[in-house]
Structure 1
């Protein structure tokens, strides 16, 4: 058995460009099919033929960028039209008995017969075997591809992602938060042939980082042919600087601005030529035209936004298709620097003040960057989860001081019995006044902020935990 691999955009390239792209396709398919045993390749114009475990290879190749579709097929040589038709009919005779069928033929090369001749001859033989022709609503659809003196017959067509082979269009750095949108944006850039390295800005400590790394790991399962790098930065200093020095209504814009500055430096470190974000126009206050212009001003490299014209439902469907959605919705959102009344724009003067306010914090975040290869993400996430296990509690220990990190309105509506509300930037003062001999349990909206606070205090010698309230 053989697998027919079809490509579309690569076929319109010429000369050395096409040969380079075909070589990239072969490399990516080989890596994708690494678990399929021995495979061999043969190339013809518009097709790559892969010999090996056909079902395994077909499933693997259907996830390779640049591949339009794949089909496990039976290959045979033929002497003439009668020989071709007889062999094709023999392959499918048992499957059409008592069923409606159609024969679809594609032909490449010079032959003494047409595609219709093949379809008619094979159809007649299958009808004689007990099937009935129905070109509109067949129960069995049979495909035959004739290329010079060989024919390939198959029934299954697995759609691939299409696009261009990974590595054919340079390298970009994708800002991936672990949420729904940014992994989809990174996937689209891989689909257009770009190598994608990832920058993850960790605001929420071990809880958020472990969940986000699992999202990135799932995303990079598509990166056949490239050992992607994942840069993890501790962005807590950025959040602290914004809370201390920036007007609350500008927090979202300020964070995005700081993230762009950090990403620009990180991109130069990995020799990326552009930044990629998951922004969709108007989806959030920091994604208006005015806000995007403000956060991008002065960034000295292209900022690519593959999702800019998509709505949320389209993005969600794509996340489900690529496999990141279920993981993304489990990533807790960090709520420490997001205002309930965010501004949708910022003046040039305000942006300059933001740059001054976060400059040192961006430097600190850049210095904190850890680099992982895609094959290391699973073990990194597991190590974080083991750290997390020692911080989480299911119920409040007797005598513990319970601290609510949510806003005043949420606290008034409901809070855990005996909980005291403390502003995030006042936590350290609070625990120092209350004493090191106490046990502290923190909670917030989704757990990310409270887990981060608990871990940081644990490192300072406090008995601190967090509890999820959802």
Structure 2
């Protein structure tokens, strides 16, 4: 594809947005804002919004560079590079031929579809289909028209101010604009599953913050840095800011290990994590918890275990991966760029103290009785929340922190949210 002939990019909104009725305008505005954020590295690019469409004025920027920035914007179902032409027959014919030739590998068959939005144009749509196709065929005699199943469809949209010509269409990320459907907290481990669950939640319009539990010195500093790297990758899909809440879990985990309830330790840990996350959610105005659970994958993800673990919180638990198998999850992880980091050999706290025979069908009454018998468990949970450190990450294309870290830490109790960019 030749990049430099195009003037603009036509963006099509996700199908889910188009059925939102009275809320559609809000979703479209949020999406337009995200497109502007994704393209802020490009000088003089203009984003124009019309009903059901967004147009990006390229202003001499190569299309492929702009397309790369658009591919991860949630809410876009597809987009196309467009060349503008004067609204007269000769200009449209010449531009159509340029766009067809810029397609790259020349096809054997094509068709022309003209939409005449400006009804005063002297030729109707059917006539324009023939006039444009004939011009292209004269210059490429080996080409044939195939109305039913063409390899390339050359489209022309005629408006009063200009005609817009394109033939290539690229699939977008789809879904809803990021943040359009509320806010949740993601339980982010260092494994393969949870970053994928986070990405799927983001794609459905959830604004996310991540919560990670570490057990220093049982878990290494490299394990924590691995999670920071995964959070930075998720930051890429937000277009703005992403928070990672680092929760110290050593004392609680050690107390569980000393409770002589080896088969229940994973259940107890997961329930404590949910209780801590629920408190953080209230502070951060989040209304759901997102996990990487996949039904039957490990002992804590059997139906019985998920039921007992989930009773620890009143917040809804969203499990985007619950019906996926590991191959599907890995495929998405590779696509979104988290897989290589996730398989680094640094253990998180959930892989420590794993019993030889964990309970796959724990009894809720027994679990609650064990919890009630652990001295100061509620106080330890409150202390873990108090000792949580929040890492705030922001996207910027030109600025960086003086020390090169790219992130700033702030204590959870801090009231300020004036965080640096990276």
* TM-score, reference length from structure 2: 0.82
Q: Equivalents in 1 of 2:257, 2:105: separation in Å?
A: 73
Q: Which moved more, 1:184-193 or 1:87-96?
A: 87-96
1:76 to 80, 85, 90: 85
Are 1:343 and 2:359 matched, yes or no? yes
Q: CA 1:229 to 1:95, structure 2 compared with 1: closer, same or farther past 3 Å?
A: closer
Contact 1:103–1:122 (CA<8 Å) still a contact in 2?
A: no
Contact 2:32–2:49 (CA<8 Å) still a contact in 1?
A: no
Partner of 2:43: 37
Are 1:55 and 2:69 matched, yes or no? no
Matches within 5 A, 1:280-291: 280-291=294-305
Contact 2:112–2:133 (CA<8 Å) still a contact in 1?
A: no
Partner of 1:160: 172
Q: CA 1:40 to 1:157, structure 2 compared with 1: closer, same or farther past 3 Å?
A: same
1:200 to 204, 212, 220: 212
Partner of 2:188: 176
Q: CA 1:298 to 1:328, structure 2 compared with 1: closer, same or farther past 3 Å?
A: closer
Structure 1 residue 146, shift from structure 2 partner:
0.9
Q: CA 1:361 to 1:122, structure 2 compared with 1: closer, same or farther past 3 Å?
A: same
Q: Equivalents in 2 of 1:129, 1:147: separation in Å?
A: 22
Task: State the SS of the aligned residue for 1:37.
Answer: coil
Q: CA 1:187 to 1:117, structure 2 compared with 1: closer, same or farther past 3 Å?
A: farther
Cα deviation, 1:170-189, whole Å, max 9, x if unaligned, reads 11111111211111111111
Which has the greater radius of gyration?
A: 1
Structure 1 residue 152, shift from structure 2 partner:
2.4
Contact 2:116–2:124 (CA<8 Å) still a contact in 1?
A: no
Structure 1 gaps, min length 5: 385-470
Task: State the SS of the aligned residue for 1:208.
Answer: helix
Q: CA 1:77 to 1:207, structure 2 compared with 1: closer, same or farther past 3 Å?
A: same
Structure 1 residue 331, shift from structure 2 partner:
5.0
Report how many aligned residue pairs link the two structures.
Answer: 379
Q: CA 1:106 to 1:228, structure 2 compared with 1: closer, same or farther past 3 Å?
A: farther
2:325 to 305, 311, 328: 311
Q: Equivalents in 2 of 1:257, 1:362: separation in Å?
A: 11
Q: Equivalents in 2 of 1:233, 1:287: separation in Å?
A: 22
Task: State the SS of the aligned residue for 1:359.
Answer: helix
Contact 1:70–1:158 (CA<8 Å) still a contact in 2?
A: yes
Partner of 2:392: 373
1:294 to 284, 308, 316: 308
Contact 1:262–1:362 (CA<8 Å) still a contact in 2?
A: yes
Contact 2:74–2:177 (CA<8 Å) still a contact in 1?
A: yes
Contact 1:280–1:311 (CA<8 Å) still a contact in 2?
A: yes
Are 1:92 and 2:100 matched, yes or no? yes
Are 1:124 and 2:156 matched, yes or no? no
Structure 1 residue 351, shift from structure 2 partner:
1.9
Are 1:6 and 2:12 matched, yes or no? yes
Q: Equivalents in 2 of 1:258, 1:187: separation in Å?
A: 24
Q: Which moved more, 1:212-221 or 1:94-103?
A: 94-103
Task: State the SS of the aligned residue for 1:49.
Answer: strand
Q: CA 1:369 to 1:42, structure 2 compared with 1: closer, same or farther past 3 Å?
A: same
Matches within 5 A, 1:250-329: 250-329=264-343
Contact 1:55–1:72 (CA<8 Å) still a contact in 2?
A: no
Partner of 2:414: none
Contact 1:249–1:342 (CA<8 Å) still a contact in 2?
A: yes
Cα deviation, 1:348-397, whole Å, max 9, x if unaligned, reads 22221343334343223212211111239998x9879xxxxxxxxxxxxx
Q: Equivalents in 2 of 1:209, 1:133: separation in Å?
A: 59
Task: State the SS of the aligned residue for 1:232.
Answer: strand
Q: CA 1:232 to 1:306, structure 2 compared with 1: closer, same or farther past 3 Å?
A: same
Q: Which moved more, 1:370-379 or 1:274-283?
A: 370-379
Contact 2:45–2:57 (CA<8 Å) still a contact in 1?
A: yes
Structure 1 residue 336, shift from structure 2 partner:
2.2
Partner of 2:200: 188
Q: CA 1:211 to 1:376, structure 2 compared with 1: closer, same or farther past 3 Å?
A: farther
Are 1:243 and 2:243 matched, yes or no? no
Q: Equivalents in 1 of 2:185, 2:355: separation in Å?
A: 28
Structure 1 residue 206, shift from structure 2 partner:
0.8
Q: Equivalents in 1 of 2:231, 2:384: separation in Å?
A: 20
Task: State the SS of the aligned residue for 1:340.
Answer: coil
Task: State the SS of the aligned residue for 1:177.
Answer: coil
Structure 1 residue 298, shift from structure 2 partner:
4.2
